[in-house]
């Protein structure tokens, strides 16, 4: 009879976890900060990327420009030759690694055999809801902070009209994989007001961040618009 009672408890726990996990979606959460003096319109949104002298043959930067170019295209920007561009777009980016320490629970089992078989029973005397206190141990994990900055200036006079930064942190050690989420977040709800700070959540997966494998767009042609959706802005 005791076995039947434990079985019912385990079944109830598994059913509850199944319901909870089935409705869960993983998100990449990015903080976005913008400074703006934007007054352009759709007819004047022609641009060219600008680079420092030592970045002219930088393949990594070329990859990130394509990702950002896809996002700019969703806001009616059109990439053209430098001499024809109304705006210049410059990118800055980086990644930093840190270690974080998290307290993990360790459940104490004071009971000798044959009770060891119940060590995963959350209602047992050594479970998280049992009478014995939970112990904790500290565990350290690497965490990576990814950064993307997009700066838009007027080509004719050099006036800065838009400057936005996007920053997120997780266990992803690759900036290339994080870049689609950074680009989407940085340009979500463009143009933001001056001094705006908000959080953007994008679902992880093929319907979340935009693929890094995008077709190159030559000067004079518009970048292909992004088709992914699902970004949520959290003020």
Residues 114-127 pLDDT 10s = 554 455 555 555 55
Q: Is residue 20 part of a domain?
A: no
Among all chains, which residue has been given the structure tokens 């990859």? 63
> What is the structure's pLDDT at 77?
96
> What is the structure's pLDDT at 231?
66
Q: Is residue 6 part of a domain?
A: no
The side-by-side arrangement of strands in the sheet containing 232-234 is 78-79, 46-49, 87-106, 135-154, 160-170, 27-36, 196-203, 232-234
Q: Is residue 7 part of a domain?
A: no
pLDDT at 175 over 60: yes
Between CA 64 and CA 105 the distance in angstroms is 41
List C-alpha distances in Å: 175 to 146, 178, 190, 212.
Answer: 6, 5, 23, 11
In three-state secondary structure terms, 180 is: helix
Q: Is residue 123 part of a domain?
A: yes
Domains of the chain: total: 1
Q: Is residue 96 part of a domain?
A: yes
Q: Is residue 15 part of a domain?
A: no
Q: Please list, residue by residue across 60-76, b when 16 or more beta carbons sit within 10 angstroms of its beta carbon and e when fewer do.
A: ebebbbbbbbbbbbbee
Domain extent, residue 55, equals 27-234
Residues 126-169 pLDDT 10s = 555 555 566 788 888 889 999 999 999 999 999 999 999 999 99
E-strand ranges in 58-182 read 78-79, 87-106, 135-154, 160-170
Identify the CA nearest to 181 among candidates 191, 194, 190, 170: 170
Between CA 107 and CA 102 the distance in angstroms is 16
> What is the structure's pLDDT at 47?
98
pLDDT at 16 over 70: no
Q: Is residue 83 part of a domain?
A: yes
Q: Is residue 54 part of a domain?
A: yes
Q: Average pLDDT of the chain?
A: 78
Between CA 140 and CA 138 the distance in angstroms is 7
């Amino acid at each position: 009879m005791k076995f039947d009672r434990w079985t019912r408890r385990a079944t109830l726990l598994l059913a509850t976890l199944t319901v909870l996990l089935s409705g869960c979606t993983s998100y990449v959460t990015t903080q976005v900060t913008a400074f703006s003096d934007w007054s352009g319109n759709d007819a004047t949104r022609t641009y060219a990327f600008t680079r420092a002298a030592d970045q002219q043959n930088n393949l990594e930067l070329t990859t990130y420009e394509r990702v950002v170019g896809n996002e700019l295209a969703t806001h009616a920007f059109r990439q053209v030759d430098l001499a024809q561009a109304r705006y210049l777009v410059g990118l800055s980016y980086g990644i930093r690694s840190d270690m974080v320490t998290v307290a993990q629970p360790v459940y104490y089992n004071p009971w000798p055999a044959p009770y060891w078989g119940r060590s995963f029973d959350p209602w047992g005397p050594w479970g998280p809801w049992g009478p014995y206190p939970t112990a904790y141990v500290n565990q350290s994990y690497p965490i990576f902070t990814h950064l993307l900055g997009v700066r838009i200036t007027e080509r004719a006079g050099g006036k800065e009209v838009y400057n936005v930064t996007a920053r997120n942190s997780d266990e992803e050690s690759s900036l290339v994989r994080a870049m689609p989420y950074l680009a989407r977040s940085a340009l979500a709800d463009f143009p933001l007001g001056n001094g705006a700070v908000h959080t953007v959540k994008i679902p992880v997966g093929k319907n979340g961040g935009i693929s890094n494998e995008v077709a190159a767009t030559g000067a004079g042609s518009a970048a292909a618009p992004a088709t992914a959706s699902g970004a949520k802005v959290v003020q």
